[in-house]
Chains A and B, each alone.
Chain A
Amino acid sequence: MTRQAIRVNNVTKRFGGLTAVDDVNLVVDEFSISSIIGPNGAGKTTLFNCVTGFYSPEEGEIEFFDKPVQGLPTHKICDMGIARTYQNIRLFKEMTAIENILVGQHTRMESTWVESILHNPHFIKEEKEAVGKAFELLDFVGLSALADTPAFNLPYGAQRRLELARALASDPVVLMLDEPTAGMNPQETAEMMAFIKELRDSKMITIILIEHDMRVVMGVSEKIAVLDYGRKIAEGNPAEIQSNQRVIKAYLGPSMNGMTNRKKRKKQNDA
């Protein structure tokens, strides 16, 4: 019997007169990979922000393994086991790669400031373990050689991977990725797809992603939800979504080639 990791019940989020997320229902099964897609401004990131506690929705409930999360501060939600990455990379720029990951482990560590002055055995042991685990994560994303490099000096792809590693450092149960392949070339994108699958299989994590690249979406996700103007217009497995007339009209376009259609769409918008 699979459990439900995240349940979004009739959630509405408004910004003044604009309803960014409108009465959305969503269920994410444990250990699944799900995608949220939709045109720009459809409310995908807003929905993410509601789940991770950045915003508090005006209506509806969000449950994490049957426990309500809305209204909780973001650090509590992170502590419960929801970690995320950001659409525009948001690392702690002046800190080195490994320090970013050590901050990621913050919620799984417990030494206090007094202990850090005393350097008692508990502190030393915990610190050593944390550094060891941080190097494991850096190995996992292939960045251990750059451990002591300040985050702002890392190349773009490395920054994306570091952000992912930082999210993983808090031992999340649910990992939410906001456009993980944005700005990547086809090969990097393919690697990221493989990486996401491996992540789920090796660490048994539930993954939710926002993505525009249809090859990624159709390639990795087991379930897809489509948002348009804040409303959920469709939900289902990749095959169902590809043949859904409403989705084709709102987002995919008839030719079923995400990239070109987005370009067409952009041209229409520009015109």
Chain B
Amino acid sequence: MNESLKRGLRLGLIFGIVFIFFMLIGFTTVATSIIGQLVGNVDAQSSSGQLPVSNLIIFTVIMGFLTGISAHKKDLKPNWIHVLLAGLFSGLVTGLMVGGFAWLIGGLDAQGVDFRTYLPNLGVREIQYLIFNVPPQAAALRYILYFVLSSVVGALLIKVLSPGSTVNRAVVTLKKTTVDKLDVGKLKGTLENKYVLVALLVAVGALMYFLPFVWGSYWNYIMGTVAIYILLGLGLNIIVGYSGQLVLGYVAFFAIGAYTFAILTAPEPHAIEMNLWLAVLISMLTSTLAGLLIGLPILNLRGDYLAIVTLGFGEIVRILIKSDLLTALTNGPKGITNVGQPFWRGRLFTDTNYMHLLMLLVLAGLFVAKRLKDSRTGRAWISIREDQTVSQATGVNTFRYKILALLLGAAIAGLAGALFASRNQFTGPEDFTLMVSVNVLCVVIVGGMGSLPGVVLGAFVLKGLPELLRELSDYRLLAFGGLLVAMMILRPNGLWPVSRPKFIKQRLEACKDEPMEVSA
């Protein structure tokens, strides 16, 4: 009993603070507008351009629901009274806090206090919206009511679904009779069948070929950006994920690739207009060379020191590109326009063609990275990541392998840069800020260090999702931070952690094929 009250109080406090925080930064308004669009509750827009208050009610109810669910979830021995109490109490606390806050701002607003000096998201209109366009006292009561009701419902719902309850038992039985009847072994066997596999690959290939035609240029652009980030992630994954060298200035190689390509193919400022495929190769070579120049002197550094030096390198490259010193070469802050575009069947590359090219390159990159991983080279890299001193004493020429990782990563970044410049037909110094390095590093870490599916997943999550949630773009950094914190707690090894290759099975299969070897 006492325990339930305490838990209710604690969670009520947490959710109350979170909700008030959302109100202060204006997130409540954004969230309600998303809800409005989702449920189609936008047509009744008032003349002031505000959404109907009902959306705010939905948001409040959802938050209250979450409060109730969390209040229950932590309960070790749930019984009806405890659940009810925890839900009621947490809802009440949240409601009191939020209601009090609404009363406060509503009341102060009525007195003519202007919050916008300090809190730009709390204008008169927003405040009226937050108090449901009713007097502050009434709004406070409504908040309390909504929170208490939704929180109790949330708590009760979880109780109903919790293990051991009738509903839960019914669900489990249903699952047993349907899902578990599927023979997983048989399914696996079917998948291992060569013809089925080929058919599946053909289907996926066809899908990948036709999708870019169907989904239009907007999606081609977004997915193209994701693909470029997958490429960058694959490159950085070799450096950070495999060999464990924390390089923070990865964007430098991306920039050098993009600029080399742009200078070689654009009519301005040099009018070289070289063959594009040759230019791509030269871009990769230049990035690799840059990797060699920076890698030779610094790769003996370890950990933090390496991170700091490479961080500086990334910024130096961007500033050099922008500087007066190199304006003649790089067009300075203006950037280079009309970067060359390849031809396909006599016509300039369309967004569909770019998408296809990027897909092919991503597949090739995955193939190369996978094969490198499961080889003498890949094992040497991972051993360096695990313990550099011992790795060297075990016979690995650590310096050589670290340089190799850096060069391969730089070459892939150069390739991605060339494609980036060509696709955008423009490249400027502000495309290559520190944030790009940080984003790519996040792709690698969020996906799971050293994991290839992780890189793909990470690129989709970090570059694709923000595009989908345009509404949230102002809160991207907030969401980023929240995501990273949640990741560290829930999945410290990344969304798709790396799996080690299995050798025992390999050995058994080899024995099956050659029965002679067993007797020998």
A residues lining the B interface (CB < 8 Å): 52-54, 73-75, 77-79, 83-84, 86, 90, 92-96, 98-99, 102-104, 106-109, 111-113, 116-117, 119, 123, 126-127, 130-131, 134-135, 144-145, 147-148, 150, 166, 170
Interface contact A95-B394, CB-CB below 8 Å: no
CB neighbours of A135 from chain B (8 A): 503, 507
Q: How far is the CB of A225 from chain B (nearest CB, A)?
A: 22
Interface contact B375-A116, CB-CB below 8 Å: yes
A78–B386 alpha-carbon span in the complex (Å): 18
Interface contact B372-A117, CB-CB below 8 Å: yes
B399 closest partner in A (C-beta) = A73
Contact of B393 among A78, A99, A112 (CB under 8 A): A78
Top 3 A-B pairs ranked by shortest CB distance? A107-B395, A116-B375, A92-B386
Q: A117-B371, A119-B371 are in contact. List 18 more A-B contacts (CB 8 A).
A: A54-B389, A74-B393, A75-B395, A78-B394, A92-B383, A92-B386, A92-B390, A95-B379, A95-B500, A103-B379, A103-B383, A106-B383, A106-B394, A116-B377, A123-B375, A131-B503, A144-B504, A145-B504
Interface contact B395-A148, CB-CB below 8 Å: no
A124–B35 alpha-carbon span in the complex (Å): 56
Interface contact B503-A147, CB-CB below 8 Å: yes
CB neighbours of B372 from chain A (8 A): 113, 116-117
B378, B389, B397 — which one has the most chain A CB atoms within 10 A of its CB? B397
Can you list 15 A-B contacts (CB < 8 A)?
A78-B392, A90-B387, A90-B390, A94-B385, A95-B379, A95-B383, A96-B501, A99-B500, A107-B396, A113-B377, A113-B404, A127-B376, A131-B503, A134-B503, A148-B502
B160 at the binding interface (Cβ < 8 Å): no
Interface contact A116-B376, CB-CB below 8 Å: yes
**Among residues 467 to 489 in chain B, which have CB atoms less than 8 Å away from a CB atom of chain A?**
none
Contact of B395 among A54, A79, A95 (CB under 8 A): A79
B4 at the binding interface (Cβ < 8 Å): no
A130–B395 alpha-carbon span in the complex (Å): 15
Contact of A78 among B395, B408, B504 (CB under 8 A): B395
Interface contact B390-A73, CB-CB below 8 Å: no
Interface contact B507-A92, CB-CB below 8 Å: no
Contact of A111 among B376, B395, B404, B503 (CB under 8 A): B376
Interface contact A75-B397, CB-CB below 8 Å: yes
Interface contact B507-A86, CB-CB below 8 Å: no
Interface contact A92-B503, CB-CB below 8 Å: no
B60 at the binding interface (Cβ < 8 Å): no
Interface contact A92-B391, CB-CB below 8 Å: yes
CB neighbours of A96 from chain B (8 A): 500-501, 503
A144 closest partner in B (C-beta) = B504
Interface contact B502-A106, CB-CB below 8 Å: no
A90–B390 alpha-carbon span in the complex (Å): 7
B360 at the binding interface (Cβ < 8 Å): no
B372, B376, B377, B503 — which one has the most chain A CB atoms within 10 A of its CB? B376
CB neighbours of A107 from chain B (8 A): 394-396
Q: How far is the CB of B5 from chain A (nearest CB, A)?
A: 43
B404 closest partner in A (C-beta) = A113
Q: How far is the CB of A217 from chain B (nearest CB, A)?
A: 24
A94–B500 alpha-carbon span in the complex (Å): 9
CB neighbours of B393 from chain A (8 A): 52-54, 74-75, 77-78, 84
Contact of B375 among A111, A147, A170 (CB under 8 A): A111
B353-365: CB near A (< 8 Å → 1, else 0) gives: 0000000000000
Contact of B500 among A83, A111, A144, A150 (CB under 8 A): A150
Q: How far is the CB of A81 from chain B (nearest CB, A)?
A: 10
A130–B372 alpha-carbon span in the complex (Å): 16
Taking A75-B396, A111-B376, A116-B378 as contacts, is the C-beta distance between A103 and B507 under 8 angstroms?
no
Taking A74-B392, A92-B383, A107-B395 as contacts, is the C-beta distance between A127 and B502 under 8 angstroms?
no
A145 closest partner in B (C-beta) = B504
A150–B371 alpha-carbon span in the complex (Å): 21
Q: How far is the CB of A181 from chain B (nearest CB, A)?
A: 20
Contact of B376 among A84, A106, A119, A147 (CB under 8 A): A106
CB neighbours of B500 from chain A (8 A): 94-96, 99, 148, 150
CB neighbours of B382 from chain A (8 A): 92, 94-95, 99
A95–B373 alpha-carbon span in the complex (Å): 12
CB neighbours of B408 from chain A (8 A): 113
Q: How far is the CB of A150 from chain B (nearest CB, A)?
A: 7
A74, A102, A144, A166 — which one has the most chain B CB atoms within 10 A of its CB? A74
B502 closest partner in A (C-beta) = A148
Interface contact B504-A103, CB-CB below 8 Å: no
B395 closest partner in A (C-beta) = A107
A115 closest partner in B (C-beta) = B375
B286-318: CB near A (< 8 Å → 1, else 0) gives: 000000000000000000000000000000000
A17–B145 alpha-carbon span in the complex (Å): 75
CB neighbours of B341 from chain A (8 A): none
B489-504: CB near A (< 8 Å → 1, else 0) gives: 0000000000011111
Interface contact A147-B504, CB-CB below 8 Å: yes
CB neighbours of A109 from chain B (8 A): 376
A7–B387 alpha-carbon span in the complex (Å): 29
A83–B393 alpha-carbon span in the complex (Å): 8
B405 closest partner in A (C-beta) = A113
B156 at the binding interface (Cβ < 8 Å): no
